[in-house]
Structure 1
């Protein structure tokens, strides 16, 4: 799987170019499925109007509205109640998964329950475009600061598809968003490498190679706290 891990979506020309490069074709020729599931677990973004805005391409985060050949909805909470042959072929045939932000552990729980987490290793040509929690879910550790909901098991592990963590929505000092000071404190509780990224930044992962694409601000913390 090719990964485009964003904080705010496809917000600028550099991130869009990285997406097109991963797709290997124009966006207008690519099919997409959007996954709104994380939104329902977060009281600030769902359910309701904001979930609908994401699905319909009317949110403030450019993802669904980029001009895809087609866009469908993959709601993970529904998948355990239907046969795999009804949705697994659809996922395999789709070029890109657009994964909304919201509550990261809620999303992780339903990725496991639905079977999508088990499917990921076989989706070698699929592009995963994550927004905030949709990016963080693929990391090994999100930190206590980003945990609001816990699954019945109490398990706070995320999927560990990549070996680094992500602190999203980095904001300039004194401006809305998460401050660099908060990012430094967060990084102190993360065992491995970690990136703090703003909404104009994305992290790409292709064949194990990690690159930062940015028209904004970001910082890489080493595996030692605050380094």
Structure 2
């Protein structure tokens, strides 16, 4: 599986070009499934109107509204209650997964509960995460980002990459997301980590990591 881990979606031409390259074909010829699950775990973004905005492509974060051949919804909280043969082939056939932000640990919990976590490594799809949808791929998210408390209280996430992510760096709507606070957060992670603003993404493909940015980012080494 190829990963495009963004802070705020496909916000500029560089990230857009990286996505098309990873797909290997135009967006207009590609099928997508959007995953809104993380939004339900975060009090600022769900449930309600913001979840509808993401699913319908009316969000200010470009993901669902990029001009896909088709877009479906994959709601992880529903998957444990239906037979796998009804949804696994759909996921295996899609070209891209569009994973919303919200609460990363809530998303990690439902990735595991739904069975998607086991399926992800075998997929040919491009995984496009936004904010918590990107953070969830890390070994840890850091105590600063714990909102929804998982069983056991750990900040462990999916461990599908070996680095952690601090999104929305220097965002005026999130005054606490300063570089100084990112440095303090990274010290607690005790592993490789990136702080990145909303014009930045991290591309993970074929064992290589590349930062795609028209903005500000910083890597922290342990």
TM-score by length of 2: 0.97
Instruction: Give CA deviations for 1:31-77 in whole Å, capped at 9, x if unaligned.
Output: 00000000000000000000000000001110000000000000000
Match of 1:161 in 2: 160
**1:171: Cα distance to partner?**
1.0
Partner of 1:189: 188
**5 Å matches for 1:53-202?**
53-123=53-123, 125-171=124-170, 175-177=172-174, 178-202=177-201
Structure 1 residue 208 displacement after superposition: 1.1
CA shift for structure 1 position 196: 0.2
Residue 12 of structure 2 is aligned to residue 15 of structure 1: no
User: What SS class does the counterpart of residue 188 from structure 1 fall into?
Assistant: helix
Q: Is the 8 A contact 2:143 2:155 kept in 1?
A: no
The residue that corresponds to 2:28 in the other structure is 28
Kindly provide the CA deviation profile for residues 62-114 of structure 1, in whole angstroms up to 9, marking residues without a partner as x. Answer: 00000000000000000000000000000000000000000000000000000
Q: 1:121-179: per-residue Cα shift (whole Å, max 9, x none)?
A: 111x210000000000000011000001112343431010000000000016xx33311
| Structure 1 residues 189 and 155: CA distance shift in structure 2, 3 A | closer
* DSSP-derived class of the 1:98 partner: strand
Q: Could you list the runs of 4 or more consecutive aligned residues of structure 1 that deviate by over 6 angstroms after TM superposition? A: none
- 2:219 alignment partner in structure 1: 220
TM-score norm. by structure 1 comes to 0.95
- Partner of 1:203, secondary structure, is strand
3-state SS in 2 of match to 1:189: helix
Partner of 2:208: 209
